[in-house]
Structure 1
Amino acid sequence: MARHTYRCPLRWADMDAYGHVNNVAFLRYLEEARIDFMFRLAPGEGDASFKGGSVVARHEIDYRHQLKHRHSPVDIDLWVTKIRAASAVLAYEVKDDDLVYARASTVIVPFDFKANRPRRLTDEETAFLEKYREDEA
């Protein structure tokens, strides 16, 4: 299956006192990759996926190496590991070529903001996610 790669710029404000990217900045990087995947790529394939909204139910991050601040972007690979009726799990690697700085996952829940409650994934959303599905190793 396919993975989505997002080229994420590093910002001066992402750096901590030790000269490496602060752990909190990694959550912003994951958010940028997720937004690019769900709100740019999905609608670009001809459907209105996820425009109704979604929320994050859980994050997990394993930091593998320090990411030093620099001017070149870092790659974030994103793929789907689980699809359920009303949630999906996205997996990520923040990396340069073969060096992985962090591995992470996010549970997303489609959300109906008018009704203020979770909703089920649509058939179109499920079909889109399925194209990026890789079973967990």
Structure 2
Amino acid sequence: MDSLSSPLRIEPRWTDLDPVGHVNNSVFLVYAEEARARFLYAELPGTWQHIVVVHNSIDYHSSVVVTDVVHVTSTVGSIGRTSFTTVNEIATDEGRRCATVRTVQVVLDPDGQHPRPWTDLERAALSELSGTPASP
């Protein structure tokens, strides 16, 4: 699945809006989460349910209103020993950049309590998604 050719399309709902009529800042995390979950489910089918978020950051570029349609792309930005960062770009149909969401996640061991290192297969899949060569 090429996330850039298959972005998640979202039509904002009235409940997404703040009192000024813009999509509320916290809703950008929900949009990114939906796109990221679909992305990881497709790309890491045996692992995605063991991945948890440990950090989010958002750069806001432009507001979104209820009449906008947004597209959310997902890519892998960097890969650590037990973690990785996804980058979600949120933009309108017209190509106006609205937000960039960076999310650091870790993969948990079977007890679900502690991070574990990536397997060689997982690291290779993540590396392919990031466009960087896999390292041991």
Global fold match (TM > 0.5): yes
Structure 1 residue 132 displacement after superposition: 1.9
Which of 63, 68, 73 does residue 65 from structure 2 map onto? 68
Range moving further from structure 2, 125-134 or 17-26: 125-134
The superposition leaves residues 3-34 of structure 1 with CA deviations (integer Å, 9 ceiling, x where unpaired) of 44222332221111111100010110111011
Range moving further from structure 2, 24-33 or 94-103: 94-103
Contiguous gaps of at least 5 residues in structure 2: none
In structure 2, the residue matched to 1:16 is 18
Which of 31, 56, 79 does residue 29 from structure 1 map onto? 31
Higher relative contact order (CA 8 A, sep 6+): 1
**Pair 1:121–1:26, CA change in 2 (3 A):** same
Structure 1 residue 115 displacement after superposition: 4.8
Check the 8 A contact 1:78/1:92 in 2, yes or no: yes
Contiguous gaps of at least 5 residues in structure 1: none
RMSD: 2.0
Q: Percent identity?
A: 32
Q: What is the TM-score with the length of structure 1 in the denominator?
A: 0.82
Structure 1 residue 78 displacement after superposition: 1.2
Q: What is the TM-score with the length of structure 2 in the denominator?
A: 0.83
Q: How many residues align?
A: 128
